[in-house]
Amino acid sequence: MSDKSTKPYRIGESQIHGRGVFAARHISKGEFIIEYLGEKITKEESNRRGLEREEYAKASGDGAVYIFELDDKYDLDGNFEYNDARLINHACRTNCEAVLEDGKIKIYATRDIQEGEEILYNYGYAIEHFMDHPCHCGFPECVGYIVAVEDRKKLRRILKGRKPKRK
Ligand SMILES: [Zn+2]
């Protein structure tokens, strides 16, 4: 039995990238782990910050993007120290998912997670700019870039040099 009253996660050194978030105890499938905190901003402001970070990423090699889409009007910028969830790494094999719930982004376990395992979810970036987001997760199913699960086949075709068929 895991004690649900204690904080489920801790921050530590990741094998995948920089610092990561790890299970501090056993976490059950479906359990809420952490909320992705940040500043609610308009799409206009979001685009401005996105471009600014892209420039920074090109100059520094640190391609981190922390902006989540909330709805048609607003996004959430999680690039703040107080947002521990920004340290959760992407991987092509995951144990969590980000769920939009009442205007909040919450991270839930998609399977039982053992103490010490790294918390991982799919960032699900749009396939258009996949070259900007290489993945080094090291799992056998890694496609080499951070894209949504449903776009993996498409990306594999692109990487093979074959254009995906249009309907
Ligand atoms: Zn990967």
Determine the distance separating the centroid of ligand 1 and the alpha carbon of 160, expressed in angstroms: 17
- The share of the chain scoring above pLDDT 70, in percent, equals 92
Model confidence band, residue 166 (pLDDT cutoffs 50, 70, 90): low
Determine the distance separating the centroid of ligand 1 and the alpha carbon of 151, expressed in angstroms: 13
Determine the distance separating the centroid of ligand 1 and the alpha carbon of 147, expressed in angstroms: 9
CATH code matching the domain that covers 9-123, chosen among 3.50.50.60, 2.40.50.140, 2.170.270.10, 3.40.50.150 = 2.170.270.10
Give the per-residue pLDDT at 53: 85
Answer yes or no: is pLDDT of 165 > 80.
Answer: no
- Region 97-125: mean pLDDT is 95
Determine the distance separating the centroid of ligand 1 and the alpha carbon of 146, expressed in angstroms: 7
Spans of all domains in the chain: 9-123
Give me the residue label for tokens 């205007």: 103
Give the per-residue pLDDT at 34: 97
Answer yes or no: is pLDDT of 65 > 60.
Answer: yes
Answer yes or no: is pLDDT of 14 > 90.
Answer: yes
Determine the distance separating the centroid of ligand 1 and the alpha carbon of 16, expressed in angstroms: 9
Tens digits of residue pLDDT in 115-163:
999 999 999 888 988 888 899 999 999 999 999 999 999 999 999 986 6
Q: For the CA atoms of 104, 107, 111, 116, what is the dihedral angle to 10 degrees?
A: -160
Determine the distance separating the centroid of ligand 1 and the alpha carbon of 121, expressed in angstroms: 11
Determine the distance separating the centroid of ligand 1 and the alpha carbon of 5, expressed in angstroms: 33
Three-class DSSP labels, the chain: CCCCCCCCEEEEECCCCCEEEEECCCECCCCEEEEECCEEEEHHHHHHHHHHHHHHHHHHCCCCCCEEECCCCEEEECCCCCCHHHHCEECCCCCEEEEEECCEEEEEECCCECCCCECEECCCCCHHHHHHCECCCCCCCCCCECCCHHHHHHHHHHHCCCCCCCC
Give the per-residue pLDDT at 60: 77
Determine the distance separating the centroid of ligand 1 and the alpha carbon of 138, expressed in angstroms: 6
Determine the distance separating the centroid of ligand 1 and the alpha carbon of 122, expressed in angstroms: 9
Q: ∠ CA(114), CA(1), CA(105), 5° rounding?
A: 55
Determine the distance separating the centroid of ligand 1 and the alpha carbon of 83, expressed in angstroms: 23
